Amino acid sequence: MSGVLILVATPIGNLGDLSPRATEALASADLVCCEDTRRTGVLLKHAGVRAAELKRVDDHTEFETIPAVLDRLAAGERVVLVSDAGTPGISDPGERLVAAAIAADHEVTTVPGPVAAISALVASGLPTGRFVFEGFLARKGRLRDDQIDAIASERRTVVLYESPKRVAATLDALAERCGADRRAVVARELTKLHEELRRGTLAELAQWAREGVKGEVVVVIEGASGPGELDDAEITARLAVALSHGASRREAVDAVVAETGARKRRVYDLALGL
């Protein structure tokens, strides 16, 4: 009998965000793998759960603990994986363990819940239809430069994590490469008592961050405008031509998006006016 590995999302701040399904999964687990047994212990106490066993699985121990976890799964046990906050595997341990479990033909499932990147994105006010997640940027060197250059030309909204100690320098570098007027949002301490979403241009946010930033930080950056981006009148004209040739509204929108590279939401909103 094969066991099951369950990835359980935990609160990123407010403990009230722990879902009933997450509590049930933690209570029924034969083994709970976590980054910090003390921190997870506090969460379990809050939920009124007494776990059968806690095992440390963090960035330093994940690889070496995989064989032992696979043995437990092979014995038919239910293994829950949590991170200190949020969803396991998203800039937290879990990716290698999941891959190993799948390779060994064990079932892997999730109990979804909080993700700081998604919370920041949807509250940012920036386009959410297409986005990319960069995780943490490299601290220095050529790789960091390449990552920032890629962000500068990225047409989709970009979401990244950053240390509060480095966020000012990162915003400065982004303002230099992306343009001082590129819109962005810094989300700080999401769901916690001192939650703050600071909106502005990259230059404005960099200046604000130089005064010091505390807490967990997510940065959301507006996508780049394409060269020679068409104005509304040109896009509307193209939509009208497509519709006059018998295309449905959806077909016309898809065709114009493919032709121009304009954002689908923008083209759709213009189509509604025809």
Per-residue pLDDT of 183-238, as tens digits, reads 999 999 999 999 999 999 999 999 999 999 999 999 999 999 865 567 888 899 88
Domain that holds residue 213: 117-221
Same domain, 64 and 148: no
Please count the helices (runs of H) and the strands (runs of E) in the chain: 11, 10
In 3D space, the residue among 86, 95, 82 whose CA is nearest the CA of residue 35 turns out to be 82
Instruction: List C-alpha distances in Å: 48 to 20, 24, 115, 190, 192.
Output: 12, 10, 23, 24, 21
Same structural domain for residues 109 and 121?
no
Q: Residue 54: which CATH number? A: 3.40.1010.10
pLDDT of residue 206: 97
In this structure, the answer to whether residues 155 and 182 fall within a common structural domain is: yes
Q: Which residue has the higher pLDDT, 188 or 130?
A: 188
pLDDT at 80: 98
Question: What is the CATH number for 184?
Answer: 3.30.950.10
Do 106 and 121 lie in one domain? The reply is no
Kindly report the pTM of this predicted structure. Answer: 0.80
Q: Is the same domain home to 97 and 23? A: yes
Alpha helices in 125-213 (DSSP H): 141-153, 167-178, 202-209
73 and 36 together in one domain: yes
Bigger pLDDT: 129 vs 10: 10
Q: 263 and 246 in one domain?
A: yes
> Would you say residue 226 lies in a domain?
no
Q: Are residues 197 and 236 in the same domain?
A: no
Q: What is the pLDDT of residue 226?
A: 64
The whole-number average pLDDT for the span 130-148 is 94
Assess whether 216 and 241 both reside in one domain: no
DSSP letter string over 182-197?
-EEEEEESTTSTT-EE
Domain count for the chain, please give it: 3
Q: Are residues 60 and 72 in the same domain?
A: yes
**Per-residue pLDDT at 273 exceeds 80:** yes
pLDDT at 264: 86
Do 108 and 126 lie in a common domain? Answer: no
Eight-state DSSP code of residue 174: H
Residues 110 and 8 in one domain: yes
